[in-house]
């Protein structure tokens, strides 16, 4: 969804979220990444949460005021002053009555104080811990760790690398990606037509033919290796 939310009137201030999305149930999620301490950050969180609440209003007199849940997630590179002596690094905040029971469960604020997360890569167990580790140390990571081999982290690291490209490098990458998709489409079509199945025997021969076609298109060895399973040395000899 769009991350810029316009005010009700021209006199009001607009809000631009780092990430704003919605799940299949219509619940709204605001994600804010804050690198440095900021005065009234909690006030800003409440203010931002008001936008997806107000925008659920239905015009006309028949609206019953039913709202979808709104979640505001603050990923902080600092620690709240009042929490500096606590060991908890994730704080869940809801509206509660004086007896500490939840009064309204459709508005939730989640604050993550990254400096308190001090697990090393060999201590990571849950997916949440892995995400927190990546969020805190991504800029310092030189290689993808063994603990971060899931597909979602592969996508994240790829996106992070592309984000560092210059305009020229990004154009080169997009062109390379186009060649990759083109050759993949050729290979997939060949499989569907039965051309490869009728001409070659065994998986090794199939991979070699595919690798040769990709190599002839100028696709880099690492991409060919990922696609065929052949090593860079085997590709070099083709």
Higher pLDDT, 30 or 35: 30
Q: Is the dihedral of CA 226, 230, 231, 232 positive or negative?
A: negative
pLDDT class of 57 with cuts at 50, 70, 90: confident
Q: Tell me, what's the pLDDT at 13?
A: 53
Higher pLDDT, 150 or 72: 72
The answer to whether 28 touches 22, Cβ cutoff 8 Å, is: yes
What integer is the mean pLDDT of 211-217? Answer: 80
Q: Please report the sign of the dihedral spanned by the C-alpha atoms of residue 115, residue 117, residue 122, residue 128.
A: negative
Are 152 and 168 within 8 A, CB to CB? no
Beta strands in the chain (DSSP E): 4-5, 15-16, 19-22, 28-34, 70-76, 90-96, 102-113
Residue 203: exposure state from Cβ atoms within 10 A (0-12, 13-18, ≥19)? exposed
Query: What percent of the chain stands above pLDDT 90?
Result: 18
Which band of pLDDT confidence, cut at 50, 70 and 90, is reported for residue 11? very low
Structure-model confidence comparison of residues 181 and 229, the more confident one: 229
Q: Which residue has the higher pLDDT, 3 or 26?
A: 26
Lowest mean pLDDT among 33-47, 85-99, 139-153, 224-238: 139-153
pLDDT digits (tens, 9 = 90+) for 222-232: 777 777 778 88
Mean pLDDT of 182-190: 63
Give the Cα separation of 15 and 221 in Å (integer).
45
């Amino acid at each position: 969804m769009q991350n810029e939310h316009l005010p009700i009137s021209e006199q009001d201030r607009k809000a631009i979220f780092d990430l704003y999305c919605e799940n299949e149930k219509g619940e709204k999620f605001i994600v804010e990444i804050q690198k440095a301490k900021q005065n009234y950050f909690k006030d800003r969180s409440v203010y931002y949460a008001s936008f997806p609440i107000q925008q659920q209003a239905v015009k006309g007199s028949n609206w019953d005021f039913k709202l979808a849940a709104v979640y505001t997630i603050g990923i902080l590179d600092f620690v709240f002053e009042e929490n500096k002596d606590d060991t908890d690094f994730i704080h869940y905040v809801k509206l509660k009555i004086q007896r500490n029971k939840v009064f309204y469960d459709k508005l939730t604020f989640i604050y993550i104080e990254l400096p308190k997360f001090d697990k090393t890569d060999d201590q990571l167990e849950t997916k949440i811990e892995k995400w927190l580790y990546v969020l805190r140390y991504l800029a310092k990571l030189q290689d993808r760790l063994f603990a971060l081999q899931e597909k979602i982290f592969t996508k994240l690291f790829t996106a992070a690398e592309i984000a560092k490209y210059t305009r020229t490098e990004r154009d080169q990458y997009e062109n390379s990606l186009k060649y990759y998709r083109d050759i993949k489409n050729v290979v997939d079509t060949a499989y569907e037509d039965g051309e490869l199945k009728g001409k070659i025997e065994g998986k090794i021969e199939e991979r070699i033919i595919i690798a040769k076609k990709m190599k002839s298109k100028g696709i880099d060895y690492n991409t060919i290796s990922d696609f065929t399973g052949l090593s860079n040395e085997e590709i070099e000899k083709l």
